[in-house]
Amino acid sequence: MHNNETVRPLTGQDYKTLSLAALGGALEFYDFIIFVFFANAIGQLFFPPEMPDWLRTLQTFGIFAAGYVVRPLGGIVMAHFGDLLGRKRMFTLSILMMAVPTLTIGLLPTYANIGLAAPLLLLLMRVFQGAAVGGEVPGAWVFVSEHVPSRYTGYACGVLTAGLTFGILLGSLVATGLNTVYKPDEVLTGAWRIPFLLGGVFGLGAMYLRRWLHETPVFAEMAQRKALAAEMPLKSVLRSHRGAVTVSMLLTWMLSAGIVVVILMTPALLQKVYHIDARTSLVANTLATLGLALGCVVYGVLADKVGAKPVLFVGSLLLAICTYVFYTTLRAQPELLLPLYGLTGFCVGVVGAVPCVLVQAFPAQVRFSGLSFSYNLSYAIFGGLTPVVVTLMLKNDPLGPAWYVIGVCAIGMLTALFIRRPQPASY
């Protein structure tokens, strides 16, 4: 990498790349998450009516979880080709693999029409969605970080992570809007299809926009010098970069715990444990998600300025403190819900500094494969187990979710101490 490349400022082209990548990421994450907001309706329509309610809920969430389970597989396969054929191709493919199944879910016949084939087709579409997201998130981080000068890696990854967060927000807003406009029985008779059809159209639009993106300079330079990975990239990762994989997996655990517990599970807990009404919980959650998006960018920029190690150490500590205060204060002072949840959401934004470490932990030839393997495997294990563990902890202690997040933050602080010097941006 030439020296002028690291010192140049961000250009208009960089901002264009970042905004197109973040927009695509937001739309793709919306497609992945919208299922959760309509899980009840889907459960009623895609399973036999005589099935007990708990089993139906379990199976619906099982189908949702299937999307997480196949993430590593999709991510590893797509990263393999991303390291060998180019980042841009995989970036476009992942959005197509997400848009088509989302559109299809919106058009699927229900159990009443085709019987058992309905949940099976739903499961198949969800598997495609999971594989797509497994390639998209790591691919997007690699893509933007290889486009900007290395001293802006944190900013680029933070902006992109904020984009993914907006996907969750978009899902929540669409769900709230639909439930406001349509009565529950209207949602069941067909309105539930709207967000999926919208998502499919959004996705195809984002794919069209991605045609204007260029291959990353880092990949182009490696291809030109014939310096691409000589063997299967993943093999080299597992042989020579085990330390980087361990650090990346532990930091991803913290990232997934923060998002899954504080952002995705807490609205339901606010209603069940703290008896706060659904609308207030959703408003508070929207505020927390906005806080998270802002936090991602702030922590990303800080990682560029002072380094990822201190930022992740202090950020994990702040998240632990904030989570404890949030969960312990709500009982006595529910009127503090909005400011506290917003602040806790902002503290979860420390996850915006995580991809910066993940991207810099692997050399360019195997960067996509190393990041994708660590991130997706960790997310499949911990993202899948977290809701189960937290629910079990809640049985004995209403502060279960807080203790879980605090525990994982402690692991995050310890892991931060082992962050190595970044690998060079070029190879």
Domain boundaries defined on the chain: 3-416
Question: What is the pLDDT, as a whole number, of residue 3?
Answer: 44
Kindly give the confidence (pLDDT) of every residue in the chain, 427 residues in length, as a single tens digit, with 9 standing for 90 and above. 444 455 788 888 899 889 888 988 898 889 888 887 888 788 889 989 888 878 887 788 788 878 888 888 888 888 888 888 888 888 788 888 999 999 999 999 999 999 999 999 999 999 999 899 888 889 889 999 999 998 999 999 999 999 999 998 998 889 888 888 998 889 999 999 999 999 999 888 888 888 778 888 888 888 877 766 556 778 888 888 899 999 999 999 999 899 988 988 888 788 878 888 877 888 899 999 999 999 999 999 999 999 999 999 999 999 999 999 999 998 889 899 999 999 999 999 999 999 999 999 998 888 988 999 999 999 888 877 888 788 888 888 889 999 999 999 999 999 999 998 776 555 4
Contact between 331 and 270 (Cβ < 8 Å): no
Q: Please give the Cα distance from 80 to 77 (Å, whole number).
A: 5
Could you report the per-residue pLDDT of 244-296, keeping only the tens digit for each? 999 999 999 999 899 988 988 888 788 878 888 877 888 899 999 999 999 99
C-alpha angle 149-358-249 in degrees, rounded to nearest 5: 175
Going from the C-alpha of 201 to that of each of 23, 213, 341, the distances in angstroms are 14, 20, 33
Question: What is the pLDDT, as a whole number, of residue 87?
Answer: 84
Contact between 174 and 195 (Cβ < 8 Å): yes
Question: What is the pLDDT, as a whole number, of residue 229?
Answer: 58
Q: Please give the Cα distance from 47 to 45 (Å, whole number).
A: 6
Among residues 177, 197, 409, the alpha carbon closest in space to that of 312 is found at 409
Could you report the per-residue pLDDT of 16-70, keeping only the tens digit for each? 889 888 988 898 889 888 887 888 788 889 989 888 878 887 788 788 878 888 8
Q: Please give the Cα distance from 415 to 412 (Å, whole number).
A: 5
Q: Please give the Cα distance from 373 to 384 (Å, whole number).
A: 16
SS3 70: coil
Question: What is the pLDDT, as a whole number, of residue 61?
Answer: 78
Contact between 155 and 17 (Cβ < 8 Å): no
- Structure-token pair, residue 16: 């264009």
**Superfamily for 3-416?**
MFS general substrate transporter like domains (1.20.1250.20)
pTM: 0.86
Q: Could you say which DSSP state residue 307 is in?
A: -
Question: What is the pLDDT, as a whole number, of residue 230?
Answer: 58
Contact between 323 and 399 (Cβ < 8 Å): no
Contact between 63 and 119 (Cβ < 8 Å): yes
Question: What is the pLDDT, as a whole number, of residue 352?
Answer: 94
Q: What is the mean pLDDT of the chain?
A: 88
Q: Please give the Cα distance from 361 to 232 (Å, whole number).
A: 18
DSSP for 209-255, please give it: HGGGPPPPHHHHHHHHTT-S-SS-HHHHHHHH-HHHHHHHHHHHHHH
Token pair 């790349």 is at which residue? Answer: 17
- Structure-token pair, residue 99: 């848009």
